[in-house]
Amino acid sequence: LKRVRAFLPHAGQAWLVGLQGPAAGRPQPMRRTHAAGLYEAYTTSGIAADYQLRVHDPDRGTRDIHDPYAFPTMLTDYDLHLLGEGSHWKSYEKLGAQLREVDGISGVNFAVWAPNAAAVSVVGDFNNWDGRVHQMHKRIPSGVWELFIPGIQPGAAYKYRVQSDEGTADRADPYGVAAEVPPRTASRVADLAAYVWGDDTWMDRRRHRDWLAEPISIYEVHLGSWRRPGDDPTRWLTYADLQRELVPYCIEMGFTHVEFLPPTEHPLSASWGYQTIGMFAATSRFGGPEDLMALIDSLHQAGIGVIIDWVPAHFPKDGHGLRRFDGTALYEHEDPRLGEHPDWGTLIFNYGRNEVANYLISSALFWLDRYHIDGLRVDAVASMLYLDYSRKDGEWLPNCFGGRENLEAIEFLKQFNIQVHHHFPGVLTIAEESTAWPGVSRPTYTGGLGFSLKWNMGWMNDTLRYMRHDPIHRKYHHDELTFSLIYAFHENFVLPLSHDEVVHGKGSLLDQMPGDHWQKFANLRLLYA
């Protein structure tokens, strides 16, 4: 006989119900061995498919459940080895909330990396947010906690309750693929494989396409403010609304690509989304994952590529996010001279930690794989490359050679580009890099960072400064217009007129032009031409 123990803190009574053999269907009373709710009984089989637990509690009545602790762990030793090595490029298929079927029983396998936590539980609307019910297994020595919970369906809200020396905190899933609508902060289980794509022609053609040999015109779009419904300007357009309005607009205007400001989940609705909480979760403000997929699918079928802004440079300090995730500086650096960004009040990823670099590169590959994204524009690359970025003397630490270059970030960016171009040929990677760092868009095998393209910030600043002059004075400032030609062929440049040029009191591009109303429009037409 095998002893079955179950911790059922809400149960007034419990029975073991066999599903196989002569005792099938007969409930066997379980003995309560501890007042906290520990029950036990004996059975001839400990296999999950061979028995259920019948639980009676005053609030939910009597129900039959499968024992989550009768199921084996899903992650293999090889998975854990690759995670520790930092080379599990598709870790999004293993960590997080994965819909699974085990022995004919459907459910969700939860897995989270929290090596320094004392205990981790899955809490959610399926267990009344009680951290005692679904406590996870720790896979030593990897630090991954894991538990298969049968019966959970897509749409369920959940978090990880992490206990550490600093106390107890409920965390959103770092690998969560969906989230509650802010200001709520839980992750949601989602079935991303359910959507049926119709962009096969586009995807097949993309693999053999050389965008560097073709003209590109990119339309930058912030999903939350591109347009508002005419009947209610306080409401956002949904992904479905954007599918109806944005696609024909891009066709009419002749754009080859759209670039979405970060579509990842973020806490502040009044922002552009650059302080990301969920690196794998599409923001739920505008609809579900399948709605964003439908928007991208429609753009592809219209012959328009989709680029997203992707932010591996930093992350916010919100309590449900990555900050001190397991009670230690897990994703960030412990020393604020390395781990804190002075401009934005955010935290900087520790690119030298294998699991962190793996997490970020896996996020990039996830968007290209599951959402058919055609390009990633990496935000704030300059802040990643330099240890003294926006810091005064004494506020930063040099690298092992005494220099200011962030060697770990450099290797991370190279590996990011290598993996993206290896797994997804035809995809663009674009760097927003504002310094003279050499070889940003040169191959890694020649010492470059490996990006496809780089934003030409110098051209943008010089050109806008030139256009702000009254036309009668421009002849004295032609150097501002021509200077960028001196270095135009050092990189594969994109010429950007971006969101950064219309904020912080700068006004719209139209307002920045000289002259009266008619002259402003004339100058803006000249700029665009």
Known catalytic residues? Answer: 379, 432
Q: What is the DSSP letter of 372?
A: -
Name the token pair of 343.
């401009």
DSSP string for 389-432: TT--TTSS---TTS-SB-HHHHHHHHHHHHHHHHHSTT-EEEE-
C-alpha distance from residue 347 to each of 241, 325, 330, 334 (Å): 35, 12, 11, 10
Neighbouring CB atoms inside 10 A of 369's CB total 16
Helix (H, G, I), strand (E, B) or coil at 359: helix
Strands 157-164 vs 119-124: parallel, antiparallel or unpaired: antiparallel
**Burial 270-302, CB ≥16 within 10 A → b, else e:** eebbbbbbbbbbbbbbbbbbbbbbbbbbbbbee
Handedness of CA 481, 483, 485, 491 (dihedral sign): negative
β-pair partners for 430: 377, 453
Strand partners, 282: 264
CB 56 within 8 A of CB 139: no
Can you give the C-alpha Rg of the chain in angstroms?
A: 27
Helices 457-468 and 517-528: crossing angle, nearest 10°? 150
Long-range Cβ contact pairs of 94-100 (< 8 A, separation 24 or more) = 95/144, 95/174, 95/175, 96/173, 96/174, 96/175, 96/176, 96/177, 96/280, 97/158, 97/173, 97/175, 97/176, 97/177, 97/187, 97/189, 98/74, 99/154, 99/189, 99/191, 100/74, 100/148
Structure tokens given for 178: 């969906």
Q: What are phi and psi of 105, to 5 degrees?
A: -110, 120
The identity of residue 324, as a single letter, is R
Nearest Cα residue to 373 out of 382, 364, 381 = 364
Q: How far apart are CA 374 and CA 367, in angstroms?
A: 9
| HEC secondary structure over 329-356 | CCCECCCHHHHEECCCCEECECCCCHHH
Sign of the alpha-carbon torsion through 364, 368, 369, 370: positive
Q: What is the 3-state secondary structure (H, E, C) of 104-148?
A: CEEEEEEEEECCCCCEEEEEECCCCCCCCCCECEEECCCCEEEEE
